[in-house]
Structure 1
Amino acid sequence: MSETTTGAHLSQVWHDVLGTQPAPALWLVWATAAAALLLVVSRPSWRIGRNLVTIAHEGGHGLAAVLTGRRLTSIRLHSDTSGLTVSRGRPHGPGMVLTAAAGYTAPPIVGLAGAWLLSADHITALLWLAIVLLFLMLLMIRNAYGVVAVLVTGGLIFAVSWFASASVQAGFAYVVVWFLVLSGVRPVIELQAKRSRGEAPESDADQLGRLTPFPAGLWIFLFFAVSLACLAVAASRLLSVTP
């Protein structure tokens, strides 16, 4: 690609980021919802797709820590799709509570924010905002698998936004957003199943149970309720497209 062609492409991308794109046909919105649902319920695809949920989960912890004045020191993503975010500050209080609560609620909330952008026809802006957020998260990753996971995710989004047609970008963006809002419920169910077997004594819900007067079970119910609410609102936004 020549320098002139590259410059023209950059100018077009910047124009697309600031502008809007045509809304996809309603059948495509339903098709991407079905595809995302299949990714969530199918065990093999969930095993891969859960890495995206973990990125959003740990990113939620990290962002909450920064916004509440804690010092974010590291984020680790593991090959078993678990993760760990470490921040320093008061071991108790609102900042610690919000940081602990942000993990399971982050994927559906991020998905809801994405649904709002898509319903406003800001498809390219959504893709590039995701790239920026992944780059900022990459600065805090402290293990090799985490670096690879974030780079692969960001690289895929960049490739779609840079090389793919507008229709492919729309389909990709809708699948990702549907996946995030649909996948909010499954990790909460998995967490409760692990807790019932005594396998997750240090889960976010259990930490919140020790940090607050409310038991871990109530926090799990809150995670579940937030996920369902985000899914309902996001679905109403995404299915109201008018091409």
Structure 2
Amino acid sequence: MMNHGISDVWQRVLGTQQAPPHWLVLVCAGGALLAMLPHPVWRVSRNVVTIAHEGGHGLAALLTGRRLHGIRLHSDTSGLTVSSGRPTGPGMVLTAAAGYTAPPLLGLGGATLLAFGHITALLWLCTALLAVMLPRLRNAFGLLTVLVTGGAFFAVSWWGTEQLQAGFAYLGVWFLLVAGVRPVLELQAKRRRGGARDSDADQLARLTGVGGLLWVALFLVIALSCLLAGGSQLLGR
């Protein structure tokens, strides 16, 4: 019985699921916008973007051979990823650039999985990534945020109906795609007021000699491109 149950689970994870009705895809897109636009709601939902942002820094640090010391997620939706290694060079540049690009790129990757019908696989992959992030967290709020988010993904993937899984997956991917744009705009607004001198864009400016505004523009182009490409896949399936 147990082997049969495990076999069924793996068939669900590795197999494909039927596309949800078009109205559900549109409702999820609207829900993602509602989770991003009103400021009080954004104060809560932005924590998901922060998880992806700091996770991007951490993953880039590991992939480029840097030593990752820890990740902190704060209640004001800010975060901090600490790594050590060469203070300059491609590894440091990629690590610094990975934050603002991670949410939209994750959204695009998720949209591609959904376009091929891998709804359950997407939910399990997100759960696994959050589980891998847990040992790197260095504060209680960060642990709580990732545990709650990962628990939601696991619960839906394990107990949710096919339609609930589809709605949750599409809502999450839409949110990463649309919400990947707003932090970039907020970053430039802070820079214009002189309040973000140690931002990722300004660190990259010091590392590369390329102006911070150009890095912000690059972040925005990537976010908008992912939104266009990912949205087309979600709507076109």
Q: TM-score, normalised by structure 2?
A: 0.97
Alpha-carbon distance, 1:200 to partner: 1.1
Q: Does 1:85 align with 2:77?
A: no
Deviation at 1:10, TM superposition (A): 4.0
Name the structure 1 match of 2:153: 157
- For the residue of structure 2 that corresponds to 1:139, the secondary structure is helix
Pair 1:192 & 2:161 matched:
no
Cα distance in 2 between the residues matched to 1:8 and 1:179: 35
Query: 2:200 maps to what in 1?
Result: 204
Aligned counterpart in structure 2 of residue 127 of structure 1, from 120, 123, 129: 123
Question: Please, which runs of 5 or more residues in structure 1 have no aligned partner?
Answer: none
Partners of 1:105 and 1:73 in 2: CA distance = 21
Moved more, 89-98 or 19-28: 19-28
1:117 aligns with 2:98: no
**CA distance in 2 between partners of 1:116 and 1:135 (Å):** 22
Q: Which whole-Å CA distance do the structure 2 matches of 1:150 and 1:38 have between them?
A: 22
The Cα offsets for residues 105-161 of structure 1, whole Å up to 9 and x where unpaired, read as: 000000000000000000000000001100111111111111101000000111111
1:25 maps to amino acid: P
Change (3 A) 1:91 1:176: same
For the pair 1:71 / 2:52, whether they are aligned, the reply is no
Paired amino acid for 1:101:
A
Task: Determine the C-alpha separation between the residues in 2 that align with 1:237 and 1:184.
Answer: 17
1:21-170 pair list within 5 angstroms = 21-170=17-166
Using the alignment, how far apart are the partners of 2:7 and 2:138 within structure 1?
34
Separation in 1, partners of 2:6, 2:189: 48
1:216 alignment partner in structure 2:
212
> What CA distance in whole angstroms lies between the structure 1 residues aligned with 2:186 and 2:13?
37
Amino acid at match of 1:51: N
Q: Count how many residue pairs are aligned between Structure 1 and Structure 2.
A: 237
**Identical aligned residues as a percent:** 63
Deviations 1:40-80 (A, max 9, x none): 11212211110000000000001111111111111110110
Deviation at 1:13, TM superposition (A): 2.3
CA RMSD of aligned residues (A): 1.1
The CA distance in 2 between the partners of 1:118 and 1:45, in whole Å, is 26
Q: What is the letter of the counterpart of residue 96 of structure 1? A: M
- Alignment partners' CA distance in 1, 2:45 and 2:7: 32
Tell me, what secondary structure is at the counterpart of 1:201? coil
Structure 1: distance between partners of 2:11 and 2:66: 37
- How far is 1:240 from its partner? 1.0
Output one character per residue of 1:150-192: Cα deviation in whole Å (capped at 9) or x when no partner: 0000001111111110000000000000000000110011111
16-25 or 37-46: bigger deviation: 37-46
